[in-house]
Chain A
């Protein structure tokens, strides 16, 4: 057998999964070091993939997503307080425009009985729009994304407030993709969280899905 044939046969055996522990380990190393071998393995994985249809899906243990979520998003579930300087650095142009327009609205209103506060809810991972939360002088909370947030059709984003020192967040309602105003009293240093929930919001009154955004309402001045 020629050498390319030999390498391809080894790639096939590795993709099939019939190698013993040592040969499998060696093949895995070769995948990471030999691009031609990695290509051969990827091609074999694709050739054999239809065999996976012989195995029925199995329901996942209920805590699986939490474990995966924790392991992949170190920031998830813990809120990173954002200082003002960080907000300006982290903001996208869109968020800045929203902030400017909302600030203008706030200035035109009556003298504020409540100091305006702002929070940028940063995505746990990069690459998705930020959410900007601001409070109006009358205490209303506005929340608006800097860009379109894609949500699967059977899901909704839900906004939560976690007051300082409290263990359980309080639901502020489902968040439409274009953002909205919430009539909510939010004590100083309230943490805001956005989780992915079944359509219509969490059935339990507590977040059940992944926490995708988190930020703390901080005084602007």
Chain B
């Protein structure tokens, strides 16, 4: 199952109470959602809680999915991310002097992994147009779930600078993706 239509269909069947569709959705998407939660939370037990809660929400909130508003993939991924972000914001993750051991994902080479779909290719093209540091902030915020404050500490940049840089970057992305 790689097709958007399939995920759409399965999600709609979940909304109709179809347990088989729910299991198929779980088999395909839960490992991805778990990877995303683990990257944000870094602790397997917390990530397992986030993935569990997110998938329970998939079942409970499937009826809220509206294909006119966004993709089914985004609906699923977002449930996992919000759950993980909610946990991470309530859990002290940062220890003084802590530095991420993983920087390679922000390299232009890593961004080439986005090009598995036309949407990914467009996003990659638009990200490449951003200044390197701004691009890095956007990618780190999404992938690692870093807040404005986390980014300011990590990159040793004033908080206000981080906030305005991200906001400008996002609006530039919107304009670029619409073009």
Contact = CB atoms under 8 A, between A and B. Distances in A.
Contacts of A5: 171
A16 B138 contact: yes
Given A51-B114, A123-B17, A65 B26 contact: yes
Interface string A8-21: 11001101111111
Contact of B110 (A45, A54, A210): A54
Nearest to A9: B167
A51 B123 contact: yes
Interface in B86-127: 86, 89-90, 105, 110-111, 113-114, 116-117, 119-120, 123-124
B148 A47 contact: no
Max chain B Cβ within 10 angstroms of own Cβ: one of A15, A16, A61, A150: A16
Contacts of B20: 128, 149-152, 155, 196, 212
A24 B89 contact: yes
Contacts of A53: 113-114, 116, 120
Contact of B22 (A17, A19, A72, A155): A72
A19 B147 CA distance: 5
Contacts of B55: 68, 72
A58 B50 CA distance: 13
B142 A51 contact: yes
Contacts of B167: 9, 12-13
Nearest to B47: A58
Interface string A124-168: 111110000000000000000000011110010000000000000
A108 interface: no
B24 A152 contact: yes
Given A12-B174, A124-B19, A52 B32 contact: yes
Given A50-B120, A54-B114, A60 B30 contact: yes
A77 interface: no
A43 B75 CA distance: 10
B170 A46 contact: no
Contacts of A65: 23, 26
Nearest to A52: B77
Given A17-B142, A20-B149, A56-B35, A46 B17 contact: no
Contact of B123 (A39, A47, A55, A128): A47
B21 to A, nearest CB: 8
A54 B105 contact: yes
A128 B20 CA distance: 9
12 contacts: A16-B166, A42-B70, A44-B170, A54-B110, A57-B31, A61-B44, A61-B48, A67-B52, A72-B22, A72-B60, A196-B20, A196-B23
Given A57-B32, A64-B48, A127-B13, 17 more contacts: A9-B167, A12-B167, A12-B170, A17-B40, A17-B142, A18-B148, A47-B123, A50-B124, A52-B32, A58-B47, A60-B31, A61-B48, A68-B55, A73-B19, A126-B16, A127-B16, A127-B17
Interface of B: 13, 16-24, 26, 30-32, 34-36, 38-40, 44, 47-48, 51-52, 55-56, 59-60, 66, 69-71, 73-75, 77-78, 81-82, 85-86, 89-90, 105, 110-111, 113-114, 116-117, 119-120, 123-124, 138-139, 141-143, 145-149, 151, 166-167, 170-171, 173-174, 177
